[in-house]
Every structure is written in structure tokens, then in C-alpha cells.
């Protein structure tokens, strides 16, 4: 990650253009390649805009590829603003770059054996204690090409809400904790369940 450099030049009396040697919005290409922000709420989630609009006396920010164009409020002098805006841009771009670097760094993708061990541990410590509240249990059968093959038992086998437990519960838990996890394959014979926690009926 190279050092963030920011240059500044006036556009007119009200506006200054700051050029940056790094991307400034991280939002992909807009329709016209530029994004305009006029309030902190508007800028929520866009660090450079949030930071610059946080400087008192700034009323508009336009972000384009490698440039930040800033409009000051009437009655405020640029000499009072320039350093603050420079700092806001530099610190927010540096922070954004660091976050991006962390998120794009190669994730620790596990092979199937390592994933099996990780999932088995998750089942033992998290998943099974939870489904046990409904008399259920989940058995890890295998991990194949990052897909977790499992079988549901007890109260989960034949339960009318088993798919909700799988998709909204177990899958979410594994997604969060197991890098590279692709999905779940349920091989349960749900028609053989003898004590499902929830049973279906006509409504």
C-alpha cells in the first residue's frame, strides 16, 4: 500500500479540488463517474465524504476517480479549511485502504479435511447445543468441495421447520465462522422421522 498523497488547487472562490493518488470512494463507477454528498446522512458509509463533511464550514463534497471537489459555506475562508480538509481526506483514504487490504488479503481457505475439523468443532460447541433445545441433533457426515454434508436427527428429523433451521440458522453460523464454506447438503430422510419438533398441518 503506497503513501497517500493529496494535492490541492482552487477551482473558483467557493470550491477547491483535491487530487488523490488513491481511489476515494470505493463505490465503482457511477453513471457519470462522480458522486455528490451534501449531508452526513447522505454520506453514511462513504468514509472520505463523511470525513470531509465533518469539517465545519464544508457544505458539499463531490467524489470522482482520484479527486475530491469541496464547496465551502459562505463566510468561511479557505485558509481556515484547507489543512483540515487535507487531513480528513488523507486519514480517511488511508483507513479505507487499510480496510480494503485486510478484506482482500487472501482468506485462509481450508481444505476439506481442515474444514471438517472446524465444522465438527462448531457442531459440538454451538450447533448441537442449540438444536438440542428442540430435541434435535445434527451429525456431520462429510465435507466435500467445501460443502458440508449433514444429517438431522431427533426433533429435527421430519420437522416442518428443518429447512429454516438449516438455512437461517446453521448455514449462517458456518458462513460466519468457516472461511471458504460453500453450502450445506442435507441427506436426512425426513420421512423417517418419528418425533419431529414441529409437525405440519392444513391451514
Partner 1 sequence: MVAPPRARLLLLLPTTTYRADAFVDAAKFLRLDLTVASELPSAFQDEHPADLLTLDLGNPDAAVTAARAFAQHHPLRGVVGVDDDTAVVAACIAGDLGLPCNPLAAVRAARDKQLQRERLHAGGVPIPPFAVHTLDEHARAVAESVSYPCVLKPVSLSGSRGVIRADDPDAFVTAHARLGAILKAAELPHDENRFLVERYVPGPEYALEGMVVDGALHVLAVFDKPDPLDGPFFEETIYVTPSRAGDDTVRSLTQCAQQAVTALGLERGPVHIELRHNDNGPWLIEIAARPIGGKCGRTLRFGPDGDISLETVVLRQVVEPGTAVPPRETQAAGVMMIPIPYQGVLRGVDGAVKARAVPGVEDVVITAHSGQVVLPLPEGSRYLGFIFARGETPAFVEEALRAAHATLEPRIDPPD
Q: Is 145 helix (H, G, I), strand (E, B) or coil?
A: coil
Task: Choose one: 11-19, 27-35, 109-117, 144-152; the region binding partner 1 (CB under 8 A).
Answer: 27-35
Closest to partner 1 by CB, 137 vs 149, is: 137
120 binds partner 1 (CB under 8 A): no
Given its phi and psi angles, is residue 131 left (phi above 0), alpha (psi -120 to 50 degrees) or beta?
A: alpha
CB of 77 to partner 1, least distance (A): 29
Q: Residue 198 in contact with residue 185, Cβ under 8 Å?
A: no
User: In the block, which residue shows the cell 436426512?
Assistant: 188
Angstrom distance (rounded) from CA 155 to CA 199 = 10
163 binds partner 1 (CB under 8 A): yes
18 binds partner 1 (CB under 8 A): no
Angstrom distance (rounded) from CA 57 to CA 193 = 67
- Binding partner 1 by CB under 8 A: which of 45, 74, 75, 105? 45
Restricted to residues 60-89, the positions that interact with partner 1 (CB under 8 A) are none
Q: How far is CA 101 from its chain centroid?
A: 14
The site for partner 1 (CB under 8 A) is made up of 27, 30, 35-37, 42, 44-46, 126, 130-131, 133-134, 136, 158, 160-165, 167-170, 172-173, 191-196, 198-203
Amino acid at each position: 500500500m503506497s503513501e497517500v498523497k493529496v494535492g490541492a488547487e482552487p477551482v473558483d472562490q467557493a470550491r477547491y479540488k483535491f487530487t488523490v493518488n488513491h481511489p476515494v470512494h470505493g463505490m465503482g463507477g457511477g453513471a457519470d463517474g462522480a458522486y455528490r454528498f451534501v449531508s452526513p446522512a447522505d454520506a453514511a458509509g462513504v468514509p472520505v465524504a463523511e470525513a470531509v463533511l465533518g469539517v465545519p464550514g464544508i457544505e458539499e463534497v463531490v467524489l470522482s476517480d482520484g479527486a475530491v471537489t469541496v464547496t465551502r459555506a459562505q463566510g468561511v475562508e479557505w485558509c481556515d479549511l484547507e489543512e483540515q480538509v487535507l487531513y480528513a481526506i488523507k486519514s480517511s483514504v488511508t483507513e479505507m485502504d487499510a480496510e480494503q487490504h485486510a478484506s482482500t488479503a487472501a482468506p485462509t481457505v481450508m481444505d476439506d479435511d481442515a474444514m471438517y475439523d472446524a465444522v465438527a468443532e462448531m457442531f459440538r460447541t454451538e450447533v448441537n447445543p442449540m438444536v438440542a433445545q428442540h430435541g434435535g441433533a445434527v451429525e456431520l457426515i462429510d465435507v466435500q468441495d467445501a460443502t458440508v454434508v449433514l444429517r438431522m436427527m431427533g426433533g429435527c428429523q421430519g420437522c416442518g421447520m428443518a429447512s429454516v433451521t438449516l438455512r437461517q440458522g446453521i448455514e449462517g453460523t458456518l458462513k460466519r465462522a468457516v472461511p471458504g464454506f460453500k453450502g450445506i447438503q442435507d441427506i436426512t430422510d425426513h420421512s423417517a422421522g418419528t418425533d419431529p419438533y414441529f409437525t405440519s398441518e392444513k391451514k
